[in-house]
Amino acid sequence: MGDDRRLAAVVALAQGMAAAHSAREAWRAAAVGGCLALGGNFAALSVWERELGRLRVLVNVGRRAEDEEEFPEDESYPVHQFAEITEFLHERWAGGGEPDAWVETARGPAAGRPGYVHQRVAALRRRGRGCCVVAPIVLHGRAWGELYVARPVGERVFERGDADFATVLASVVAAGIAQTERLEEVRRLAYTDALTGLANRRAVDAALDEAVERHREEDVVVSLVVCDLNGLKRVNDTHGHAVGDRLLERFGSVLSLCGAMLPGALAARLGGDEFCLLAVGPPADAVVKAAEELCRRAAELELGDGVACGVASTEDPVGPVRSARRLFRLADAAQYRAKAERAAGPVVAGREGPDDPVVRLADEPSRAEDGERRRFRGRHSP
């Protein structure tokens, strides 16, 4: 491959990773770009999981063998089969050297310094591959994983020049992965409450809009639990805000634990002492059961005075739920009643007959002017 074509391949690889919207897309773009750039018919991207001592395959592209999935759940290899990444290369880096790719064939090593490892050679033979080039990926000065590109039996064997080019490609992949990790972290922080680690209001807004849309189109059950942590102001005034923050963190852990009773539920802190659980799919009774457990556990916390909890579900007789705003209003009204009555358990909208007081409160036009109501001032406000 000429210099111009190689430059174009590097640019295409970088652009492909830059266009990715998720880590998976970035992994696949790296493997596809490496495969095309090196003229292979198969490529894989793997990460070194240090705590488990294994090299785990993230993605396989191209002509896959029967035992290879595109995004495998559990394909991994003992890292000692790739000791060059964990030992040999570290020795070289410590001395100021740079990581280099190497070539292996179905008969053994061809170009580069790594030696014969029978498991790797056997894998080439078993999968009908004549040779491969392995390029270490270095991120933040540490071995991150490897880019692996193979050719079938009968095609030209990779040479030293191919290995050198693979080293360049690996550095481009490393830059792309670093960028993806930065974007993922930004996205995570944008949708995460910094104190509790739960989802934040922005995440709830987005998830609830999507959930109600699914309810309208597919009649999926959508349920919302809204909680108000009692006694936070007293804790702050008596013990200080650091202790109050610990109470919020502890309750956040309890909320997360109870949310785990509902597959796929989103646990969130809306702000201040207000929290919620969003469940899409589970029946309303299961959500109420989780809310009951939440109230019980909150009452057992050393600090605070338990929690006021309201539940609203599209499965209960609350009338049509055509917007996220209405489901929020229903759950909020149920929580408001639980607070006013000092209820030990959750109040559930729609379960007190045709003239349910919670539903009536949620749908009162004058409720927007109620000076006591302070939550949901954002785009879900009435």
Q: Which domains does the chain have, with CATH numbers?
A: 1-190 (3.30.450.40), 201-366 (3.30.70.270)
- Residue 85's Cα: distance from chain center in Å? 27
pLDDT of amino acid 116: 61
pLDDT of amino acid 99: 65
Distances (CA, A) of 140 to 21, 144, 327: 22, 9, 46
| Residue 360 clears pLDDT 70, i.e. is over it | yes
Q: To the nearest whole number, what is the mean pLDDT of the chain?
A: 86
Order of strands, edge to edge, in the sheet holding 222-229?
A: 266-271, 274-280, 222-229, 307-313, 347-348
Q: How confident is the model at residue 147 (pLDDT cuts 50, 70, 90)?
A: very high
∠ CA 297-303-305, nearest 5°, is: 65
Q: How confident is the model at residue 234 (pLDDT cuts 50, 70, 90)?
A: confident
Which is more confidently placed, 113 or 212? 212
Q: How confident is the model at residue 322 (pLDDT cuts 50, 70, 90)?
A: very high
Could you tell me the pTM of the whole model? 0.58
Q: How confident is the model at residue 373 (pLDDT cuts 50, 70, 90)?
A: very low
E strands, the chain, are 42-49, 54-62, 76-78, 102-105, 108-111, 129-139, 142-152, 222-229, 266-271, 274-280, 307-313, 347-348
| Residue 359 clears pLDDT 60, i.e. is over it | yes
pLDDT of amino acid 367: 47
Distance between CA atoms of residues 315 and 119, nearest Å: 56
Q: Find the helix or strand (DSSP H, E) in which 278 lies.
A: strand 274-280
- Length, in residues, of the chain: 382
